[in-house]
Structure 1
Amino acid sequence: MSAYLIPIKSAVMAFPFIAFFVSLPFMVGQYRKYGSFLFWRAVVLYSFVFYLLAAYFMIMLPLPSVASVAKLTTPHYNLTPFMALRTFLKTTVFVPGEPGTWLAALKQPGFIQPAFNLVLTLPFGVYLRYYFKRSLKQILVLSLALSLVFELTQLSGLYGIYPRPYRLFDVDDLIINTTGGLLGGLIAPALMRAFPTREAMDAKSYARGTRVTWLRRFAAFLIDNLVGVGLISLVLTLLARLFGVTGAEVDTLISAFVAPLLVFIIAPALNRGATLGKRLVGIRIVREDGQPVEFWRLAYREFLLYGFAKYVLIGFNQVFVALFSQFHRTELNWALFAILGVGVLFLVANLLWEVVTLDNHYFYDVWAKTKQVSTIHAKQ
């Protein structure tokens, strides 16, 4: 049993890191196609990722030492089909004419190993039929391809990490894994009745896609800041170094002013109110009357967000540290703490109000008389 639990535990530990790296691309794909992030769709796709991770660990773990593998003299592969059936008949107590032996045979290794290989890919066929809408012929081919990846991983000694295979490449595994995937595709229609259909999920996603939620805006915010500002800052800093312009002041000017100016003002002014992040998730900035936003209005909006709000939070944090960590309790620091504290309370209250009311029309949009609209239109 531990041979099966170790890979599952490893998958559980690795999954949060894998999920973190696939989350933003997944969200972008969902927003770009549907305009919304449906919880049940996320459950289906993330569970599919976890299943593939656990299945891969099943065929790879536990890892032996390189020295122990080097000493192995077992065969590298078996290309004779149906050896598993012969092994089952030879090594178990199963006698076709004696039903009393059947249950006992199911508990023996000669049955458990092939049964495990069958069950291993059964969920793969269910996912392919239920969510990805693949035909039985496609499921057959894809299940064979997945099994081949597993077997080649073993045959290659984990892609050359080991001097030889530490597990057997077995043609029976290809046959049983492929059969398991096909069986999963066959039973999927019966299981699908208990869950929302792909068509129902798509219809619900498109219906919600006309709304610009805070999570959708946050995804655009991450892309613009991590990819847009980050990449442009890196390129401009390297160019400055190339031309001999160096210094902390230059780096600060680029990262705090030039890159945000290009990403949040110049780019949307030239792209109908859409930054890179907003374009990817299907939203753009317009005036409150729906007309294209002007350059000055974009500049004012971004000043409120990245000038006023950002530096109020930074300043409050610095003053808080000075007062309660460094104990620089001067009258000026107390005055700044009070002034900036009012600003922070305003920002927090505005955030909470918009989250509770689901309006998502934050102060910088209200003051600049702008709003964000979805470029995704509802589909039947």
Structure 2
Amino acid sequence: MNVNLNIYAFPLKMALLVFPFVALIIALPLLIVQYRRYGSFLAWRAVVLYSFIYYLITAYFLVILPLPDPAAVAKLVSPRYNLIPFNALRNFLDYTVFRIGDPSTWLAALKQPWFIQPAFNVVLTLPFGVYLRYYFKRPLWQIAGMGFLLSLFFELTQLSGLYGIYPRPYRMFDVDDLILNTTGAFLGGVIAPVLMRAFPTRDAMDERSVAKGQRVTWTRRLVAFILDNGLVWPLVAGVLDLALRLLGLANSSWQPVAVWVVALAVVHVLMPLLLHGATLGMLVVRLAIVTVDEAPANVWRLALRAGLLYLVTLQSWRGFLWAFTEIYSYDHQSQSNYILLVGFGVVAAFTILNFIWNLVMRHHRFFYDVWAGTKLVARPAKK
């Protein structure tokens, strides 16, 4: 029995290459769930979850790679499975130089393939037990059970010939692997408390997440704004436009304005009324609009807030850019254009100064919230 350790380098390299793409698919939903639960995002939590996914990918690649040629697999006559437990121990005692009464043979035996291969199967699932104990806070009996299930998944993957891709197994299903993998996961759970002393505990992460989740940060505001105005608002406007077309009103001159204003009312007034103060974007990042005394905001406050922000602020910026372009790009230097430029410019300048003032003073309450008697608050984290 020869063990070529170089064969493990290829799966590790493959995991390193594939990890960023697979991790993005798998870890992002997990991070969103964690954010929804605690109302904030911790870098260390992301590191733990990403590294856990990387470990699982690497372990899986170590089980299935390198992939052999199907024609070569079809010619194999080796056993498909071994159901005799502790066969690895018997092989170690029979085929290594190990003699229990001769200590000089102990170290030499540890360097032989009959020890390295079983030891690898223990080490393979050792991190699994550590993660389950450290982050997922599983007791030892559950860690052993989950370690067994993970090992069974690996072994069945091998027994199925990689889910039927190969005509027969190219690696043997071995009951000893189940025992060793389960042992590795259990040992990982045993040593986890020692390793946990060097890192923030799960409870400490949760407490920090909850505390951080009470703050209405710029990031949460920006994400909610992008979701509401870059996704939800255009979607609602598109549905309304389609409805008008089906009613035969597609050519009406007032259609674009009507669609825009009604969509605004749906997204920023109706939805917060139905969702306890939150637009869909705010719902994602756990924010809500309330009154100054934190009572539910009524329809008039929501309408005034949305009007000041989207009908006054954004339209003043848009009008200023339009007038500026008319005067200096198209040379339409009429008196009315200059009046519009100054008028829109004053409103736009006020909104920008208000933004800068809040940014410096950290009030986080802009003029539209002040005049509407509202404010943004963070929703409490789910327990």
User: Normalising by structure 2, what TM-score?
Assistant: 0.76
1:26-47 deviations in whole A, cap 9, x for unaligned?
3432333222223322222222
* Corresponding residue of 2:48: 44
Determine the C-alpha separation between the residues in 2 that align with 1:117 and 1:341: 70
Larger radius of gyration: 2
SS of the counterpart of 1:134?
Answer: coil
Q: Secondary structure at the match of 2:375?
A: strand
Partner of 1:264: 268
Q: What residue ranges of structure 2 are gaps of 5+ in the alignment?
A: none
Aligned to 1:286, which of 262, 266, 290?
Answer: 290
Distance in 1 separating the partners of 2:201 and 2:312 = 46
Could you list the per-position Cα deviations for residues 54-78 of structure 1 after superposition, in whole angstroms to 9, with x for gaps in the alignment?
2122212222233333333322211
The 8 Å contact of residues 233 and 254 in structure 1, kept in 2 or not, is answered as no
Aligned residue runs from structure 1 range 11-90, under 5 A: 11-22=15-26, 24-90=28-94
Cα distance between partner residues in 1 of 2:165 and 2:236:
38
Match of 1:148 in 2: 152
Q: Does structure 1 residue 125 correspond to structure 2 residue 129? A: yes
SS at 1:132 equivalent: coil
C-alpha offsets along residues 356-380 of structure 1, whole Å, 9 cap, x if unaligned?
Answer: 766544566456553210221699x
| 175, 179, 182: which one aligns with 1:178 | 182
Aligned partner of 1:103 in structure 2 is 107
**Match for residue 158 of structure 1?**
162
> After superposition, what is the alpha-carbon deviation per residue over 1:153-177, rounded to whole angstroms, capped at 9, x for unaligned?
1112222222222221111110000
Count of aligned positions: 370
Q: Which residue of 1 aligns with 2:378?
A: 374
Q: What's 1:325 paired with?
A: none
Question: How far apart, in 2, do the equivalents of 1:163 and 1:241 lie?
Answer: 57
In 2, distance between residues paired with 1:88 and 1:5?
A: 25
CA shift, 1:79, in A, is: 1.1
Secondary structure of the residue aligned to 1:373 is: strand
> Could you tell me which amino acid in structure 1 is paired with residue 171 of structure 2?
R
Q: Comparing both chains, which one has the higher relative contact order based on Cα–Cα distances under 8 Å and sequence gaps of 6 or more?
A: 1
Residue 51 of structure 1: how far off its partner (Å): 1.6
Conservation of the 8 A alpha-carbon contact between 2:308 and 2:368? yes
Gaps of 5+ in 1: 323-327
Report the CA distance shift for 1:354/1:75 in structure 2 as closer, same or farther (over 3 A): farther
Inter-partner Cα distance in structure 1 for 2:12 and 2:375:
47
Paired residues for 1:200-279 under 5 Å:
200-221=204-225, 224=228, 228=232, 261-279=265-283
Point out the more displaced range, 175-184 or 53-62: 53-62
Alpha-carbon spacing, 1:23–1:371, altered in 2? closer, same or farther (3 Å): farther
Give, in whole Å, the separation in 1 of the partners of 2:115 and 2:283: 54
CA distance in 2, matches of 1:51, 1:257: 50
1:175 partner amino acid = I
- Secondary structure in 2 aligned to 1:290? coil
From the superposition, tell whether residues 349 and 97 of structure 1 become closer, same or farther in structure 2 (CA, over 3 Å).
farther
CA RMSD of aligned residues (A): 4.3
Secondary structure in 2 matching 1:18: helix
Q: Secondary structure at the match of 1:372?
A: strand
Q: List per-residue Cα deviations over 1:320-352 (Å, max 9, x = no partner).
A: xx9xxxxx97547xx99x999999999998878
- Give secondary structure in 2 for the equivalent of 1:115: helix
Q: What's the CA shift for 1:123? A: 1.0
SS of residue in 2 equivalent to 1:81: coil
Distance 2:21 2:320 in 1: 33
TM-score (norm 1): 0.77
Distance 2:13 2:345 in 1: 46
- The alpha carbon displacement at 1:300 in A equals 5.0
- How much has 1:303 moved relative to structure 2? 5.5
Q: After TM superposition, where is structure 1 displaced by more than 6 Å over at least 4 residues in a row? A: 233-247, 251-258, 307-318, 338-357
1:168 to 166, 172, 189: 172
How far apart in 2 are the matches of 1:160 and 1:316? 65
Structure 1 residues 197, 14: CA separation in 2 closer, same or farther (over 3 Å shift)? same
What displacement does 1:314 show?
Answer: 9.3
1:264-283 C-alpha deviation (Å, 9 max, x unpaired): 33211222211234334432
- 8 Å contact 1:31–1:216 — kept in the other structure? no
